[in-house]
């Protein structure tokens, strides 16, 4: 079964979380921890690749390479942020082809205007509902594997309100989007209304569990009981990394000794096992001995 097909199988037995991975190492860690799917966030990519906020600074090809590096080291389905599709109709179609080439199995396309912003930032602007429908039609036509899952995302809640967000998702479902996602609902009541009005469309509904954003802090079970099928935990691994490395570096600079930070470090041998040193040495040895067959 392909990774694309496996993602669709996951949706038959909800709920599950797409755990954020901001690089190849965190993708391997996510899979080792038991994640059934991995999420590649544009917010995290902007920070990791460019050291900048999520305000549309990454190019299409920079994001493509970032996704591809993550897909190479994991076997679970990868859900990759596609922002606004990086332009017009032709750009959206190229994004679709590149995300497939990178190895992703799922993406979400959002209805923000360029330059886009993180869904939990102020100052977002939207394209028209009709323009987003055109982009979705173009993207659906460009995918080579019908099992690739395309999620329509709206950022309308903070801009034009909940009713418009729901109307937009209804229109996006009408043109064939596989899944629906309203980013940054601000209360449980808004979440309940989203589910009540979107469930009859028969499309899986996604919730973003990002902590410190605008949405309520709910567990996966609580989200599922409200009627959402699956969730993203998109940036928490990156925030954990930032806190841990920041504190380690500050302590080292204060005390000037690796002894001061030894309890915060994975042992060298353990890390080498994790990244596959033993297997790499074994491959070299087989070929050098002439026993590769």
Q: What is the pLDDT of residues 81-102, one digit of tens each?
A: 999 999 999 999 999 999 999 9
What per-residue confidence (pLDDT) applies to 293? 57
CATH of the domain at 193: 3.20.20.60
What per-residue confidence (pLDDT) applies to 12? 97
Higher-confidence position of 292 and 229:
229
- Domain check: are 260 and 196 in the same one? no
Q: Give me the helices (H) in 111-187, please.
A: 129-142, 162-174
- Domain check: are 53 and 182 in the same one? yes
For the residues 109-126, what does the mean pLDDT come to? 83
Angle made by CA atoms 176, 177, 180, in degrees to the nearest 5 = 140
Residue 83 is a catalytic residue: yes
Tokens of 74: 């994991």
What per-residue confidence (pLDDT) applies to 289? 86
> Catalytic pick from 3, 8, 66, 108?
108
Q: Which domain holds residue 220?
A: 3-235
- Domain check: are 212 and 247 in the same one? no
- Domain check: are 177 and 59 in the same one? yes
Residue where a domain terminates, one of 213, 235, 257:
235
Q: Total domain count for the chain?
A: 2
- Domain check: are 138 and 170 in the same one? yes
Q: pLDDT-derived band of residue 121, with 50, 70 and 90 as boundaries? A: confident
Report the chain's mean pLDDT, rounded to a whole number: 95
- Domain check: are 181 and 107 in the same one? yes
Give the separation between CA 145 and CA 141, rounded to whole angstroms.
10
Assess whether pLDDT exceeds 70 at residue 141.
Answer: yes
Residue where a domain terminates, one of 192, 216, 235:
235
Assess whether pLDDT exceeds 70 at residue 33.
Answer: yes
Residue 233 is a catalytic residue: no
Global pTM?
0.95
Residue where a domain terminates, one of 216, 235, 254:
235
Residue 110 is a catalytic residue: yes
Residue 172 is a catalytic residue: no
């Amino acid at each position: 079964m392909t990774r694309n097909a496996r993602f669709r199988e996951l949706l038959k037995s909800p709920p599950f979380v797409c755990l954020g991975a901001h690089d190849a190492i965190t993708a391997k860690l996510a899979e080792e921890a038991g994640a059934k799917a991995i999420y590649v966030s544009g917010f995290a990519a902007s920070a990791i690749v460019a050291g900048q906020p999520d305000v549309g600074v990454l190019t299409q090809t920079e994001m493509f390479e970032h996704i591809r590096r993550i897909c190479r080291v994991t076997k679970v389905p990868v859900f990759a942020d596609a922002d606004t599709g990086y332009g017009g109709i032709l750009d959206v179609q190229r994004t679709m082809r590149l995300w497939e080439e990178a190895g992703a199995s799922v993406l979400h396309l959002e209805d923000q205007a360029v330059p886009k912003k993180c869904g939990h930032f102020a100052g977002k602007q939207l394209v028209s509902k009709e323009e987003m429908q055109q982009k979705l039609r173009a993207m659906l036509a460009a995918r080579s594997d019908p099992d690739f899952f395309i999620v329509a995302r709206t950022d309308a809640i903070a801009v034009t309100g909940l009713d418009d967000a729901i109307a937009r998702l209804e229109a996006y479902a009408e043109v064939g989007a596989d899944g629906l996602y309203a980013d940054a609902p601000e209360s449980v009541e808004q979440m309940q209304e989203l589910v009540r009005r979107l469930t009859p469309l028969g499309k899986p509904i996604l919730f973003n569990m990002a902590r410190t954003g605008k949405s309520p802090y709910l567990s996966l079970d609580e989200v599922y009981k409200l009627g959402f099928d699956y969730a993203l935990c998109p940036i928490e691994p990156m925030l954990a990394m930032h806190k841990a490395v920041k504190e380690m570096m500050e302590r080292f600079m204060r005390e000037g000794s690796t002894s001061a930070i030894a309890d915060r470090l994975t042992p060298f041998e353990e890390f080498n096992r994790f990244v596959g040193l033993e297997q790499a040495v074994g491959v070299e040895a087989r070929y050098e001995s002439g026993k590769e067959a």
